[in-house]
Amino acid sequence: MRNERQFIAPMSAVEAAQRAQYVLGKWKFKFWSIPGGIRFERSVPLAGLMVIHPHQVHSRIDLHLQELGEGACRVFVKHQVFKFGQPSSNLDKIVWLGDVEDLEAALQRREEPKLDRNRQDRYAGAISIKFILATIVPPVIAAIWLVATGERMATFLMLLVLILVAILFPFLPFRMPHFPLENQLPPFDSNYVRGRQ
Distance CA 96, CA 27 (A): 11
pTM equals 0.66
What is the tens place of the pLDDT at every residue in 101-143? 889 989 998 888 777 777 777 877 777 777 777 777 777 777 7
What is the tens place of the pLDDT at every residue in 28-39? 899 998 888 899
- Burial of 75 by CB count in 10 Å (0-12 exposed, 13-18 middle, 19+ buried)? buried
Peptide bond into 138 cis (omega under 30): no
In this prediction, residue 107 carries a pLDDT of: 92
In this prediction, residue 20 carries a pLDDT of: 92
Give the start-to-end residue ranges of the domains of the chain: 10-115, 119-171
Topology classification of domain 10-115: TATA-Binding Protein (3.30.310)
Distance CA 98, CA 93 (A): 8
CA distances from 130 to 123, 137, 183 (A): 11, 10, 29
Of 78 and 192, the one with more pLDDT:
78
